[in-house]
């Protein structure tokens, strides 16, 4: 948690931006996973609530009455049963004091506050809800059906929150650097322990353990897969195979809920083949290019297309693509290799503020994406960069068998792609390299004091430095593996049905 002054001044700025009415910011509630008193999903506070009210407890709502200049933290104090089972926590009054809020009220009073505001036709601002329990809460309080709530959410509030949360302050950058340190440990753990014969799940479980031991949790479900061509491929019980690449996309969330998001793709046996290296170097070049282009005033969609251009030109050199690069990019031919955007905002949410709607977070009138075109319709960030923005730089090249087949059958972008040559890459998988860029006064830099190895020679060297992997074989390590191996690769089935 930051100092009281941080939250006081954030709410003052929010009041100025929204101008009038009542702002209601809902904190999240506990979510039982399988039965009410057992198996909770890990509690995660709403990021906008955290940003303005700082408190991590469930069952809280923040109310900012702009017209009456009154701020209230709403919530019920825990009772003796909760204390017996879970221990004591600060009272709602104490929590309000910690973040400079003058008033508190029990949850039942929220209905009266809303009824009064509705009676006097005052504007009630709320953000688009993304959890069902909050949708029910809004339905009870304001009578707006859950299906209508996204449309009824306050655009003034959305724009104000996006404006404020997009630019990270120095104290937030310290938090992001800390999250990057956790991410570094997660990734280097994956690189250190990976070897043929382990399962994807085993390595990803160890990686997740690092996040849990140093921070709050993972910033999103860890992607650790030999099927790098599946964008969000979850780890399976498949064994890691000698000669293949594995893609590791993961991040840590620190105790103050700031995130990291990095991807590395590396050879399971520690040595790239020439074919792997040919593609890897293209992704590496596209990844590094962003460093020289991204700066205040530059549109991120232009950085994206600079990466696409590099990828398409190099794929032409490798014989997989052909034709005029400008025409190919206009037709969207590059998206067969890179079907997603170069990056997204990152902060307290790994896809920062995505719940507020990507169109408001990543775009403006000048940079609205072409929602009709495959690939471009997946962009999450296009607008002009500002000092203090944090965006991911995550180019990739993927060979998606089902997509290659579909485009081939439809002759889609046939003037720009050599489908016969692409056939031979249908067993390749995919490569992504991702780091988090902080936009500085006149350029940008990667977040994280130590770079997770990604230049091929560093990746291979880190494998060597991990020591004699065969020493694991006689250790408890192998004992632990007994019983968790499974030869079937569920991805293979999944791929057929794509
Ligand atoms: N790192 C996961 C994603 O950006 O979607
Ligand atoms: Mn990402």
Identify the domain boundary among 101, 136, 166: 166
- Which ligand sits nearest to residue 391's alpha carbon? 2
For residues 448 and 479, state if they share a domain.
Answer: no
Looking at the CA of residue 351, tell me the nearest atom of ligand 1: 4
Looking at the CA of residue 231, tell me the nearest atom of ligand 1: 5
Instruction: Say how many Å lie between the CA of residue 395 and the centre of ligand 1.
Output: 11
- The rounded distance, in Å, linking the Cα atoms of 394 and 433 is 6
Binding site membership of 220 for ligand 1 (Cβ less than 6 Å): yes
CATH of the domain at 158: 3.40.350.10
Does an H or E element contain 329, and which?
A: helix 325-331
Residue 353 structure tokens: 């503020």
Distances (CA, A) of 251 to 63, 172, 188, 221, 434: 32, 17, 12, 9, 11
DSSP at 444: E
Identify the domain boundary among 142, 166, 190: 166
Bridge partners of 259? 253
- Number of domains composing the chain: 3
Burial class for 236, CB neighbours closer than 10 Å (0-12, 13-18, 19+): buried
Whether this prediction's pTM lies above 0.85 is answered by yes
For 302, the domain range is: 170-466
Binding site membership of 305 for ligand 1 (Cβ less than 6 Å): no
Q: Best substitution site from 342, 350, 398, 432 to test ligand 1's pocket, by max atoms within 8 Å of Cβ?
A: 350
Mapping DSSP to helix (H, G, I), strand (E, B) and coil, where does residue 379 land? coil
* Interhelix angle 170-193/456-465, nearest 10 degrees: 60
For residues 97 and 191, state if they share a domain.
Answer: no
Instruction: Say how many Å lie between the CA of residue 261 and the centre of ligand 2.
Output: 5
Instruction: Say how many Å lie between the CA of residue 435 and the centre of ligand 2.
Output: 8
For residues 204 and 64, state if they share a domain.
Answer: no
- The rounded distance, in Å, linking the Cα atoms of 62 and 55 is 10
- The rounded distance, in Å, linking the Cα atoms of 283 and 315 is 11
Instruction: Say how many Å lie between the CA of residue 387 and the centre of ligand 1.
Output: 22
For residues 195 and 81, state if they share a domain.
Answer: no
For residues 478 and 362, state if they share a domain.
Answer: no
Q: What is the pLDDT of residue 498?
A: 32
Which residues are CB-neighbours of 90 under 8 A, at least 6 positions away? Answer: 57, 98
For residues 340 and 454, state if they share a domain.
Answer: yes
Looking at the CA of residue 350, tell me the nearest atom of ligand 1: 4
H-type helices in 411-489, by residue range?
A: 419-423, 456-465, 476-481
Q: What is the pLDDT of residue 464?
A: 78
Q: What is the pLDDT of residue 36?
A: 80
- The rounded distance, in Å, linking the Cα atoms of 337 and 404 is 9
Q: What is the pLDDT of residue 467?
A: 59
Q: Best substitution site from 224, 225, 232 to test ligand 1's pocket, by max atoms within 8 Å of Cβ?
A: 232
Q: Do 165 and 48 touch, CB atoms closer than 8 A? A: yes
Looking at the CA of residue 249, tell me the nearest atom of ligand 1: 1
For residues 118 and 194, state if they share a domain.
Answer: no
Residue 317 CB neighbour total at 10 angstroms: 10
Q: Best substitution site from 249, 361, 436 to test ligand 1's pocket, by max atoms within 8 Å of Cβ?
A: 249
- The rounded distance, in Å, linking the Cα atoms of 51 and 53 is 6
Number of helices and strands (H, E) in the chain?
19, 17
CATH of the domain at 356: 3.90.230.10
Binding site membership of 446 for ligand 1 (Cβ less than 6 Å): no
Q: Best substitution site from 218, 250, 261 to test ligand 1's pocket, by max atoms within 8 Å of Cβ?
A: 261
For residues 454 and 473, state if they share a domain.
Answer: no
Bridge partners of 246? 266
Which residues are CB-neighbours of 324 under 8 A, at least 6 positions away? Answer: none
Does an H or E element contain 96, and which?
A: helix 92-98
Binding site membership of 139 for ligand 1 (Cβ less than 6 Å): no
- Backbone phi and psi for residue 199, each to the nearest 5 degrees, phi listed first: -95, 155
Q: What is the pLDDT along the chain (498 residues), one digit of tens a residue?
A: 999 999 999 999 999 999 999 999 999 999 988 888 776 788 999 999 999 999 999 999 999 999 999 999 999 999 999 899 889 999 999 999 999 999 999 999 999 999 999 999 999 999 999 999 999 999 999 999 999 999 999 999 999 999 999 999 999 999 999 999 999 999 999 999 999 999 999 999 999 999 999 988 999 999 999 999 999 999 999 999 999 999 999 999 999 999 999 999 999 999 999 999 999 999 999 999 999 999 999 999 999 999 999 999 999 999 999 999 999 999 999 999 999 999 999 999 999 999 999 999 999 999 988 889 999 999 999 999 999 999 999 999 999 999 999 999 999 999 999 999 999 999 999 999 999 999 999 999 999 999 999 999 999 998 877 755 544 444 444 544 444 444 444 444 444 333
Residue 123 structure tokens: 């504007």
Q: What is the pLDDT of residue 39?
A: 64
Instruction: Say how many Å lie between the CA of residue 350 and the centre of ligand 2.
Output: 7
Bridge partners of 62? 25, 73
Q: Best substitution site from 342, 347, 351 to test ligand 1's pocket, by max atoms within 8 Å of Cβ?
A: 351
Instruction: Say how many Å lie between the CA of residue 395 and the centre of ligand 2.
Output: 10
Looking at the CA of residue 344, tell me the nearest atom of ligand 1: 4
Instruction: Say how many Å lie between the CA of residue 313 and the centre of ligand 2.
Output: 24
Instruction: Say how many Å lie between the CA of residue 369 and the centre of ligand 2.
Output: 18
- The rounded distance, in Å, linking the Cα atoms of 176 and 180 is 6
Binding site membership of 261 for ligand 1 (Cβ less than 6 Å): yes
H-type helices in 143-273, by residue range?
A: 149-152, 155-166, 170-193, 200-214
Instruction: Say how many Å lie between the CA of residue 208 and the centre of ligand 1.
Output: 16
Q: Give the residue among 169, 182, 216, 172 at the shortest CA–CA distance from 448.
A: 182
For residues 462 and 473, state if they share a domain.
Answer: no
* Interhelix angle 4-18/155-166, nearest 10 degrees: 140
Binding site membership of 352 for ligand 1 (Cβ less than 6 Å): no
Identify the domain boundary among 147, 166, 185: 166
DSSP3 helix / strand / coil % (the chain, rounded to 5): 45, 15, 40
- The rounded distance, in Å, linking the Cα atoms of 180 and 184 is 6
For residues 327 and 380, state if they share a domain.
Answer: yes
- Which ligand sits nearest to residue 434's alpha carbon? 2
Looking at the CA of residue 250, tell me the nearest atom of ligand 1: 1
- The rounded distance, in Å, linking the Cα atoms of 260 and 281 is 24
Looking at the CA of residue 392, tell me the nearest atom of ligand 1: 4
Instruction: Say how many Å lie between the CA of residue 113 and the centre of ligand 2.
Output: 40
Instruction: Say how many Å lie between the CA of residue 392 and the centre of ligand 1.
Output: 9
For residues 440 and 496, state if they share a domain.
Answer: no
- Which ligand sits nearest to residue 231's alpha carbon? 1
Q: Do 21 and 58 touch, CB atoms closer than 8 A? A: no
Bridge partners of 23? 64, 125
Which residues are CB-neighbours of 211 under 8 A, at least 6 positions away? Answer: 182, 186, 217, 218, 219, 250, 251, 252, 253
Q: Do 203 and 235 touch, CB atoms closer than 8 A? A: yes
For residues 282 and 394, state if they share a domain.
Answer: yes
In the block, tokens 């560093």 appear at 458
Q: Give the residue among 321, 297, 281, 290 at the shortest CA–CA distance from 418.
A: 321
Instruction: Say how many Å lie between the CA of residue 253 and the centre of ligand 2.
Output: 14
Looking at the CA of residue 263, tell me the nearest atom of ligand 1: 1
Q: Are strands 223-225 and 38-40 parallel, antiparallel or unpaired?
A: unpaired
Size of the chain in residues? 498
Instruction: Say how many Å lie between the CA of residue 69 and the centre of ligand 2.
Output: 39
> Could you give the maximum distance between any two Cα atoms of the chain, in Å?
75
- Which ligand sits nearest to residue 393's alpha carbon? 2
CA 46 from chain center: how many Å? Answer: 15
């Amino acid at each position: 948690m930051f100092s009281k002054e941080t939250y006081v001044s954030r709410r003052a700025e929010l009041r100025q931006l929204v101008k009038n009415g009542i702002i209601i910011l809902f904190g999240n509630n506990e979510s039982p996973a399988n039965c009410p008193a057992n198996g909770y999903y890990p509690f995660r506070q709403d990021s906008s609530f955290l940003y303005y009210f700082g408190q991590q407890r469930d069952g809280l709502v923040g109310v900012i009455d702009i017209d009456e200049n009154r701020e209230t933290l709403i919530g019920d104090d825990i009772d003796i049963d909760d204390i017996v089972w879970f221990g004591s926590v600060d009272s709602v009054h104490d929590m309000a004091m910690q973040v400079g809020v003058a008033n508190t009220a029990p949850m039942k009073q929220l209905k009266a506050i809303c009824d009064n505001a509705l009676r006097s036709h005052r504007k009630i601002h709320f953000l688009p809800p993304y959890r069902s329990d909050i949708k029910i809460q809004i339905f009870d309080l304001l009578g707006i059906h859950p299906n209508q709530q996204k449309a009824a959410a306050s655009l003034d509030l959305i724009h104000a929150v996006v404006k404020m949360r997009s630019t990270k302050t120095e104290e937030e950058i310290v938090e992001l650097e800390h999250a990057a340190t956790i991410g570094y440990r997660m990734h280097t753990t994956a690189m250190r322990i990976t070897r043929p014969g382990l399962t994807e799940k085993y390595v990803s479980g160890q990686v997740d353990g690092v996040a849990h031991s140093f921070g709050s949790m993972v910033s999103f479900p860890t992607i650790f897969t030999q099927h790098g061509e599946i964008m969000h491929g979850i780890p399976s019980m498949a064994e890691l195979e000698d000669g293949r690449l594995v893609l590791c996309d993961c991040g840590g969330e620190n105790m103050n809920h700031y995130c990291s998001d990095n991807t590395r793709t590396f050879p399971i046996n520690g040595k790239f083949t020439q074919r792997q290296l040919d593609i890897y170097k293209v992704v590496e070049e596209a990844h590094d290019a962003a460093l020289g282009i991204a700066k205040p005033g530059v549109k991120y969609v232009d950085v994206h297309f600079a990466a696409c251009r590099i990828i398409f030109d190099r794929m032409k050199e490798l014989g997989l693509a052909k034709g005029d690069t400008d025409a190919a990019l206009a037709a969207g031919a590059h998206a067969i290799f890179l079907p997603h955007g170069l990056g997204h905002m990152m902060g307290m949410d790994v896809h920062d503020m995505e719940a507020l709607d990507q169109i408001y977070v990543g775009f403006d009138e000048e940079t609205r994406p072409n929602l009709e075109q495959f690939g471009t319709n997946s962009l999450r960030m296009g607008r002009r960069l500002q000092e203090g923005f944090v965006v991911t730089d995550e180019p990739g090249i993927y060979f998606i068998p089902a997509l290659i087949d579909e485009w081939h059958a439809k002759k889609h972008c046939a003037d720009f792609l050599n489908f016969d040559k692409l056939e031979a890459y249908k067993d390749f998988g995919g490569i992504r390299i991702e780091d988090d860029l902080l936009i500085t006064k006149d350029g940008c830099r990667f977040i994280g004091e130590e770079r997770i190895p990604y230049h091929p020679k560093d990746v291979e060297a880190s494998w060597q430095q991990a020591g004699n992997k065969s020493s694991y074989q006689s250790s408890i390590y192998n004992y632990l593996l007994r019983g968790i191996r499974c030869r079937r690769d569920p991805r293979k089935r999944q791929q057929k049905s794509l």
